[in-house]
Amino acid sequence: MMRRYLLTLPVILGLSACAGSDAVSTALPPGYLSAAREIVAAADWSNPETVTVTLANYRFSPGEFDLHRDRPTRLVLVNPTATDHAMVAEQFFREVAVRQLVGPTGTTPAPWISKVVIPAGQTREIWLVPARYGAFRFKCDVTGHSAFGMNGLINVIP
Ligand SMILES: [Cu+2]
């Protein structure tokens, strides 16, 4: 009986937790790409590579995908669910130059970010240039969602 209670509790927390807000900085945080603004300014944004990731309860689809180093990219995050979700990718965001966040309410210049919230029923875009090779984990940090499977992997390849 007791064990059953303990297993049920995270589910309740997960469904009721809120996603918080974007983590965006206009000043260079420690460990981030200092040349982000210069990389963004030098990139050709006329034909960015578009990668779409759909958020579900509780997974990212695709859960693993490739991005190309030095290629301007639109990372489109679609949340068709009735639940707020987030994309948190601390190491990945340290290694990319972010031009802007795009959403229903407009465009936010975002040189340095660590988290993007995708509210229920909305789509957000992150315009970025991957600057270093690697395999980078990402997750949704709403309570319980990562434990339920909202995790993924981005491979930055040539
Ligand atoms: Cu989530």
Token pair recorded at residue 100? 């802007």
If you measure from the C-alpha of residue 141 to the centroid of ligand 1, how many angstroms do you get, rounded to a whole number? 7
Any idea which residue has 């059953």 for tokens?
4
Which ranges of the chain have pLDDT less than 50?
A: 1-2, 5-16
If you measure from the C-alpha of residue 97 to the centroid of ligand 1, how many angstroms do you get, rounded to a whole number? 24
User: From edge to edge, which strands make up the β-sheet containing 96-103?
Assistant: 59-61, 49-56, 73-78, 123-130, 96-103, 106-109
If you measure from the C-alpha of residue 51 to the centroid of ligand 1, how many angstroms do you get, rounded to a whole number? 19
If you measure from the C-alpha of residue 74 to the centroid of ligand 1, how many angstroms do you get, rounded to a whole number? 21
Residue 104 has a pLDDT of: 87
Residue 17 has a pLDDT of: 65
CA atoms of 56 and 83, how far apart (whole Å): 9
If you measure from the C-alpha of residue 42 to the centroid of ligand 1, how many angstroms do you get, rounded to a whole number? 34
The domain over range 2-157 is classified in CATH as 2.60.40.420: yes
Residue 18 has a pLDDT of: 82
If you measure from the C-alpha of residue 91 to the centroid of ligand 1, how many angstroms do you get, rounded to a whole number? 19
Residue 124 has a pLDDT of: 97
If you measure from the C-alpha of residue 22 to the centroid of ligand 1, how many angstroms do you get, rounded to a whole number? 14
Residue 22 has a pLDDT of: 92
Residue 54 has a pLDDT of: 98
Q: What is the pTM of this model?
A: 0.88
